[in-house]
Amino acid sequence: MSYPHQMMAADPHDRAALHRTDDAWLDERWADPASRVLVVSGTRIRPVEGRVEWVAPAEAPEGLRVLLGEWEGRAWFAVVTDAGLSRQGEGWVPLRGLLPSLADDALAYAPLVFHALGLAEWLFVTRFCPRCAGDLEPRKSGHELVCTRCGKAQFPRTDPAVIMVVAHGEPGSDDERCLLGRQSVWPEGRFSTLAGFCEPGESLEDAVRREVLEETGVRVGEVTYFGNQPWPLPASLMVGFTARATSTAIEVDHDELEDARWFTRAEMREQAESGSLVLPGGDSISRSLVAHWSGGPLPGHW
């Protein structure tokens, strides 16, 4: 069974990391009109008619040139400018606002766009050296920042977050139930899988057990890896798991969650069909986890 989140990384580009310091190679590719460039203003891009716009290098504005890599026989870059462009015109959106466009014929560009905007987010927030507060200078086609004062290098960071579908009962039985939660800021009826960031010195499996217990009071035993999805919003890697609950009593923390409930497969399908239960979007690993547990596609999504 193929899952929705896998489509977001079905055809990844060659990141060509060995060419990031090869000035002759970079200049040659930049001079090639077949190369393509994504213009990023701060951390935003401007879709055209709902599609991601890639321009020739000659059409790109001045800014930091970021090598994304090679794909389909050509080189792909991003040019990261300051936020001035996005302040001057309409239609500039962050990655979250772009996701609906990536869910159609632009889906093939998702790995390139995630790469570009993930780096842009990192460059936007990493302004000074954390050791001495000196200025930072970009190297390696935007994939490294080096302090001009103390020489310490900074690299893009990715924060691992666990996301899990928690089940209780005999696997596959009519009585087996799945645990979903909702945040208070979400529209009525919206529920999703639980998730949270991994803490220092903690295994991913233990992060699953801790997050479920903290948010819902439910204890988890067995934890099994499911898959992962890059999620640069702004810098996460969602690591998916299936988990078996050893308790069922729910005590919502009311800090991260407003509500949490158990659903049988029949209840989930009936409520999804009626619209009283709104499940995660089709491009997320959360949707894939729910589909995996339910045994097939379900109607409706965010």
Could you read off the pLDDT of 9-42 as tens digits, one per residue? 778 999 999 999 999 999 999 999 999 999 999 9
Tell me what pLDDT residue 234 has. Answer: 86
pTM score, two decimals?
0.89
Distance CA 42, CA 111 (A): 19
Q: How many CB atoms lie within 10 A of CB 78?
A: 27
Task: Report the C-alpha gap between 163 and 296 in whole angstroms.
Answer: 19
Q: What is the pLDDT of residue 131?
A: 95
What whole-number distance in Å separates Cα of residue 211 and Cα of residue 3? 24
Band of residue 141 on the pLDDT scale cut at 50, 70, 90: very high
Mean pLDDT of 185-211: 96
- Report how far apart, in Å, the C-alpha atoms of 161 and of each of 7, 193, 199, 287 are: 20, 13, 9, 16
**What is the C-alpha R_g of the chain?**
22
**Cα atoms in the 13 Å half-sphere on the side-chain side of 250:** 16
**How many angstroms separate the CA atoms of 249 and 252, rounded?**
10
Confidence of residue 211 (pLDDT cuts 50, 70, 90): very high
Please give the order of strands across the beta sheet that includes 74-81: 36-41, 74-81, 64-71
Query: Residue 40 has what pLDDT?
Result: 96
- Mean of the per-residue pLDDT values of the chain: 92
> For position 4, what pLDDT does the model report?
62
pLDDT at 105 over 60: no
Number of H helices, E strands in the chain: 7, 12
Q: What is the mean pLDDT of residues 174-183?
A: 97
Which burial class, exposed, middle or buried, applies to 105 when counting CB atoms under 10 A from its CB (0-12, 13-18, 19+)?
exposed
